[in-house]
């Protein structure tokens, strides 16, 4: 597939947030997002490898797609979950259940919903290029967390990587992308939780290899197209 860089966003510290788009106009787009949490290098690595393959695999039918390799660029540089404003971007989106109350600093939702420039940029993109499916790559433990109509995607990928699938990860996530995109755009979201390096796996390459077949096959099925109708 051929991707072109589109207008980038700007982080809290003023750094560029690159984003890429295929040259297709469509009513809905597939979003691939990495690095919402800056210290989750495993998810960033898996998306990097997948994006590289998508750019080089010219036999694939072009999909309407947006790729944001690292949303939280400041946090990624500092290797922190939060952005440079000390806000958890995945608790900062304007969901119905958003709250400013938090018990741990790493879950700081910000002074108000969508206070952070990284999320303002993301929502601006999604307003312009409506999402039909979002896959957001994270790191925690191997689990495919589905929101909205994405259980079929989770089940498909689980056949390959054997990750658990779940609609609920066991604790509240107010202000999360998984909730927000379903509420605002009726877009299903798959939060693709990669296993944590050293705790669950020995290398980043190992994490990619256990996901490579499933992710590559997914892009060659009708399942992805059904989400973009």
Give the CATH number of the domain where residue 73 resides: 3.40.630.10
The answer to whether 194 and 143 are in contact (CB under 8 A) is no
Tokens 């109350």 found at: 101
What pLDDT does residue 180 have?
98
Query: What pLDDT digit, counting tens, does each position of 1-14 carry?
Result: 999 999 999 999 99
Domain count, the chain: 1
pLDDT at residue 58 greater than cutoff 90: no
CA distances in angstroms from 94 to 67, 139, 192, 218, listed in the order given: 22, 23, 21, 30
Read off the pLDDT of each residue in 53-57 and give the average, rounded to a whole number: 96
- Count of other CB atoms within 10 angstroms of residue 134: 28
What pLDDT does residue 37 have?
98
pLDDT at residue 108 greater than cutoff 90: yes
Query: What pLDDT digit, counting tens, does each position of 193-217 carry?
Result: 999 998 889 999 999 999 999 999 9
CA distances in angstroms from 214 to 67, 104, 195, 210, listed in the order given: 18, 35, 16, 8
Q: Name the residue range of residue 73's domain.
A: 3-226
What pLDDT does residue 174 have?
96
What pLDDT does residue 198 have?
84
């Amino acid at each position: 597939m051929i991707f072109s860089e589109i207008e980038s966003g700007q982080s809290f510290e003023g750094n560029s947030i690159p984003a890429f788009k295929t040259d297709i106009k469509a009513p809905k787009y597939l979003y691939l997002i990495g690095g919402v949490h800056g210290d989750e290098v495993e998810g960033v690595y898996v998306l990097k490898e997948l994006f590289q393959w998508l750019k080089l695999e010219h036999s694939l039918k072009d999909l309407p797609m947006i790729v944001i390799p690292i949303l939280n660029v400041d946090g990624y540089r500092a290797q922190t979950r939060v952005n440079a404003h000390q806000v958890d971007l995945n608790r900062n989106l304007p969901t119905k259940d958003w709250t400013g109350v938090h018990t741990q600093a790493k879950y700081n939702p910000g002074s108000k919903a969508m206070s952070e420039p990284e999320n303002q940029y993301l929502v601006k993109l999604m307003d312009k290029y409506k999402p039909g499916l979002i896959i957001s790559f994270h790191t925690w433990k191997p689990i495919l967390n589905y929101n909205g109509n994405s259980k079929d995607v989770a089940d498909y990928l689980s056949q390959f990587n054997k990750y658990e699938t779940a609609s609920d990860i066991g604790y509240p996530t107010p202000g999360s992308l998984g909730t927000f995109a379903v509420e605002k755009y009726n877009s299903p979201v798959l939060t693709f939780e990669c296993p944590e390096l050293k705790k669950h796996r020995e290398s980043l390459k190992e994490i990619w290899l256990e996901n490579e077949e499933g992710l590559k096959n997914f892009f060659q099925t009708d399942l992805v197209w059904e989400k973009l109708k």
